Amino acid sequence: MSTAVETRTESAVDQPVRGHRIGRSFRNPALWIIQVLMAVASIFMALPFLWMLFSSVKPLDEIFQQPPKLLPQGMPWHWKWSNYTDAFDQASAGGAWWSSGFPLAFWNSFYIATLVTLGTLLTSSMAAYAFARIRFFGRGFWFMLFLATMMVPAQLTIIPLFIIMGQLKWVDTHLPLIVPPILFNAFGVFLLRQYVRGIPVELEEAAQIDGASRFRIFTQMILPLLKSPMVALGIFTFLGQWNNFFYPLIFLNSSDKFTLPLVVNQFKGAYSSNWTGIMAAATLSALPLLIVFIFAQRQIVEGIALSGSKT
């Protein structure tokens, strides 16, 4: 009974203090200026997405009208929703809509991004644990050399990679889009290694005294403690693979193996472009990413903060 009374008393005492702090924050002019600037910046950042979204239901003449208008003319039920069905028909190229075009491209992008994400989390966590905990000859040198590859543009390595994939007869398959990213992700290794180094070594030493093997320590002790950075790395990897355009453009030739960025690119011609189709197709391809961001925005923000932290 006394504990409950003390708890209520402490909470009652804390409430005025908390309210006083909130009141001071709202009366702070500098805080108000920062909030206004952030609101204005967020509006400007959202304008391209809103323009794409509303242009996907506009006629072609309204997209290029001067002065430009964000919203389509007329009521929402009078907007040109047929742009989406036209985009589906053009992407399917005469085939069945469920076995070609957007549905097939959605599936290709989804399963490639999922496999790459799961494989990257496995290999990056293993390499990060090895660089952080296992002592071997030249560990620091190999880690610095590993990180130095992040400074090499992908355009410089695409020709030797294409030659290797051709010798393996993997060109025009999804294997070049899955295997190399799984086996090599310097950013993921660096991110997880920094976090592993922050885990107390005494936990592993106690487990070793109890007879736990290195594999058991990694799977039952280290991996559960890496949940937050692995979630962040998984989100970044999935988003990067979903939007990947360069590597599918190089390695894929058959339309039934295309990913979403390649299907969207088909609406752009050499002499003319289907702008209404481009807007509708881009909106459809960005919709899953928007859903992921809505449900995982906290993890994305934490991942950005974590990738810039130093332990």
Q: What is the pLDDT of residue 165?
A: 93
Q: Which residues of 28-39 are buried (b: 16+ CB within 10 A; e: fewer)?
A: eeeeeeeeeeee
Which tens digits make up the pLDDT trace of 5-61? 444 444 444 444 444 445 555 567 788 888 889 888 888 888 888 888 888 888 888
Q: What is the pLDDT of residue 209?
A: 87
Q: What is the pLDDT of residue 5?
A: 44
Q: What is the pLDDT of residue 270?
A: 65
Q: What is the pLDDT of residue 248?
A: 93
For 282, residues 6+ apart whose C-beta sits below 8 A from its C-beta are 52, 56, 264
For residue 73, the tally of other CB atoms under 10 A from its CB is 11
Q: What is the pLDDT of residue 10?
A: 45
Q: What is the pLDDT of residue 281?
A: 86
Q: What is the pLDDT of residue 175?
A: 93
pTM score above 0.85: no
- In order along its 311 residues, the chain shows pLDDT tens digits of 444 444 444 444 444 444 444 555 556 778 888 888 988 888 888 888 888 888 888 888 888 888 888 888 877 777 888 888 888 777 776 555 455 578 888 899 999 999 999 999 999 999 999 998 888 888 889 889 888 888 888 888 999 999 999 999 999 999 999 999 999 888 889 888 888 888 888 888 888 888 888 888 888 888 888 888 888 888 889 988 998 999 999 999 988 889 989 888 888 876 677 788 888 888 888 888 888 777 777 776 766 666 555 44
Distance of alpha carbon 267 from its chain centroid, rounded?
Answer: 24
Residues of the chain with CATH 1.10.3720.10: 94-307
CATH classification (class only), 94-307: mainly alpha
Distances (CA, A) of 119 to 116, 125, 228: 5, 10, 17
Check: CB of residue 231 under 8 Å from CB of residue 299: yes
Q: What is the pLDDT of residue 27?
A: 66
Closest CA to 129 of 144, 143, 115: 143
Q: What is the pLDDT of residue 198?
A: 85
